Structure 1
Amino acid sequence: MIPEPLLYVYAVVASSPALSPLPVPDEPPDPPLGARLTLVEHRGLTAVVEPVDAGEFDEGPLREHLEDLDWVASVARAHHRVVGAVGRRTTTVPMRLATVCRGEPGVRRLLDTGHDPLRASLDRIAGMEEWGVKLYVDDDTDPSGRGDATGPTDGADSAGSAVSSESSGSVRAARSAGRDYLRRRLDDQRTRQYRAARVSDTADRLHALLASRASDAVLHPPQHARLAHAPGRNVLNAAYLVPVEGGQDFLDALPARDVLPDGVRVDVTGPWVPYSFTQNAPEPGTTR
């Protein structure tokens, strides 16, 4: 018996003539995906799918490939291009990266078991788009503006020299230098603590303001510096579900650079298909 081919599932939409002909991504396909899109319809829902090679996407090989960051990045680019093209045509629920089903029967099982949540998601995000907002802080900024050129070793060397020359005046000067250094360190620590509290308050206020301009909001964990591809430490990583007609009002709420604390900046991305508000697929590596 010939096994069913594997089908990579990009997204689910409400069945309608809107996807005829199939949308084509703006950029060329990025192997191993993007060149052979097709549709599977079931119970009023339509999945955008593509046949894929079992040597790469069957459950065992797929789990291994998911450890290869270059492979994952290539699949992610193709996945997002297809989802974006579909999303420009109609309301779209994106599937998680590397959602794979065994043939059309597997896709129909996916649509059947997820029918009600998928329908609810389509209703929820109709006329909506997602905006991403990240807040970064440059932790290398010196809060005192003085740097750390003078340390306790300067005082210690002076003290040693003073003792050897039995000069009490030099000893007092060395002790004074040591006290000044410790005082500066304490002042810097307090300034850094104040700055950290101010940055945290800025993040909280910004999120509350933007959430008030959105239909929904999701706080993601801050991105690790290696993954952020941006300088500074990520202190806010949020997604906002915004009505299409409210996009400009949402963007107008973003603070100007000159009102942010020193060393703090805001990065905005979007609009996107609402990925953060429509998670309805099985975990990657699960073949249905």
Structure 2
Amino acid sequence: MSSTHEVAVGRPAPPSGAWLHGVVRDVDPVVLEAITGLDGGPVRGVSAAGLVAVVSAAPLDEYGEEPLRRHLEDLAWLERAARAHHGVVEALARRGPVVPARLATVHTDDSLVAGSLVECAAELLATLDRLTGRAEWGVKGYLVPGVVARSGGSEGAGGVGTAYLRRRRAQLTAHEEGRQAASAAADAVHTALGELAVASRRHAPQDRRLSGASTAMVLNGAYLVDRPALPGFTELVAALGDRHPGLRLELTGPWPAYSFVAERREPAHAGESQ
């Protein structure tokens, strides 16, 4: 007599797709075995056109088009997936240039991964050449309260209410002047750093809830820096912080070059979900 449990045990495993983390020129399979990918499993390589796509196994009952669409609306699931994805990309970047894949790029089988490499080989190789010997560094600039002098002046005549209104107007004016001065300083910092970097990008400032900072962010810059130029770049960040006391500058990195990889869709192969 059979049971539901026995039928379930006898089912074949669901077909597995491939979650793409990034593309490199070459990588030792032994190195890949030491990198933890999605759901705690090891990553592996799919080779074609002189390139290697680094992927995690992605069972299609969880990572197929429909279940993946539902998962992407689950912030806790999305955070775990993004952390695992970034961990793989970061591990690859420590060993050489990598073209990071867009989060949640899933192919239904390895032949589609290989086809994507063949179709985009020229673009991928050119990007890897451009990233060789370079890394992305971030510089964030936060407002420093109280640096811009506030307007003084006597309260004058008119009583307590009038004096309060004058003080309040002076506070608002000082606040706006401070923001304008910080914005100008952020522009100057970004320009100066961009002149030393190979390439630069200015992203939208992060909300305080995301940045975790107590004051507003006015600069969120990314800079592609040649490794030999890094000491000079670091010194310039410190010098610019001294030159612009209204900003607190924070240098972060090195990061995989997310900001300097062209945004592109994977070729639309049949049976692929993204």
What TM-score does the superposition give when structure 2 sets the normalisation length?
A: 0.82
Alignment partner of 1:203 is 2:186: yes
Q: Where do 5+ consecutive residues of structure 1 fail to align?
A: 151-171
Superposition deviation, residue 188 in structure 1: 1.8
Superposition deviation, residue 144 in structure 1: 4.5
1:78 to 79, 84, 89: 84
Give distance in 2, aligned partners of 1:117 and 1:47: 14
1:39-97 alpha-carbon deviations (Å, 9 max, x no partner): 11111111011111223211111111112221111112111211121122222111111
| Aligned residue number for residue 10 of structure 1 | 21
| Aligned residue number for residue 31 of structure 2 | 22
Q: Give SS of 2:177's match.
A: helix
**Correspondence 1:83-232 to 2 at 5 A:** 83-137=89-143, 144=150, 175-232=158-215
1:254-283 alpha-carbon deviations (Å, 9 max, x no partner): 136555435x32222101121111145537
Give distance in 2, aligned partners of 1:98 and 1:56: 12
**Cα distance change, pair 96–252 in 1 and its aligned pair in 2 (3 A):** same
| Aligned residue number for residue 156 of structure 1 | none
**Cα distance change, pair 273–69 in 1 and its aligned pair in 2 (3 A):** same
Give distance in 2, aligned partners of 1:279 and 1:236: 22
Q: Where do 5+ consecutive residues of structure 2 fail to align?
A: 1-12, 267-271
In the comparison of the two structures, how many residue pairs are matched? Answer: 254
Superposition deviation, residue 112 in structure 1: 2.4
Verify the 8 A CA contact 1:23 1:89 in the aligned structure 2.
Answer: no
Verify the 8 A CA contact 1:128 1:243 in the aligned structure 2.
Answer: yes
Verify the 8 A CA contact 2:148 2:177 in the aligned structure 1.
Answer: no
Based on CA coordinates, which of the two structures has the bigger radius of gyration? 1
Alignment partner of 1:261 is 2:219: no
Deviates more, 1:93-102 or 1:32-41: 32-41
Structure of higher RCO (CA pairs closer than 8 Å, 6+ residues apart)? 1
What is the RMSD computed on CA atoms of the aligned residues?
Answer: 2.9
Verify the 8 A CA contact 1:25 1:85 in the aligned structure 2.
Answer: no
Superposition deviation, residue 33 in structure 1: 3.1
**Cα distance change, pair 102–21 in 1 and its aligned pair in 2 (3 A):** same
What TM-score does the superposition give when structure 1 sets the normalisation length?
A: 0.78
Verify the 8 A CA contact 1:138 1:231 in the aligned structure 2.
Answer: no
Verify the 8 A CA contact 1:6 1:51 in the aligned structure 2.
Answer: yes
Give distance in 2, aligned partners of 1:33 and 1:119: 29
For 1:261, give the aligned amino acid.
P
Identity %: 36
Superposition deviation, residue 176 in structure 1: 2.7
